[in-house]
Amino acid sequence: MRLPLLILLTLLSCVGCVERQIRVKSEPSNAEVLINDQWVGRTPVQVPFHYYGVREILVRSPGYQSQVKELSITPPWWQIFPIDFFTDVLLPLRFTDVHEITIKLRPAPSLDPGGLEELRDRAESLREQPASPEIPGS
């Protein structure tokens, strides 16, 4: 009686398993990562996922221009119906499906002090101009 139960428990512990991950790297590292507007961590980061499809990945870091990329995640052949039933449930193997993206951040343009002075002068000149007259009938 114990032997069949032991065999059944052994088989159940060896059922198939699929691990799906999105890996995001950036240059420079330690940038914030948002996937579909949800904060997931800092690069390099690994995020598990359950469903295939398109993800919007935003990577940002102070002093750099933010980058937004679309990652289209398509299933591998062993995750297409009806094969996925065997790989997910029956085969005593572990499958890993990793989708990796590396995003290079560009330095943000710096404002030169002369540009700030010019902007301030333009703002002051606009402030000194008289208000535009009202348009009749408005």
Which amino acid, 91? L
Domain residue limits, the chain: 13-124
**H or E element that contains 80:** none
Q: Specify the pTM.
A: 0.66
CATH assignment of 13-124?
A: 2.60.40.1120
> Which pLDDT tens digits describe the chain residue by residue (138 residues)?
676 665 555 555 555 578 899 999 999 999 999 999 999 999 999 999 999 999 999 999 999 999 999 999 998 887 888 877 777 777 777 888 999 999 999 998 876 666 677 778 888 888 888 776 666 665
d(CA 120, CA 131): 19
Residues 6+ apart with CB under 8 A from 75: 52, 84, 97
Are β-strands 94-104 and 67-73 bridged in parallel, bridged antiparallel, or unpaired? unpaired
Say whether the peptide bond before residue 28 is cis (omega within 30 degrees of 0). yes
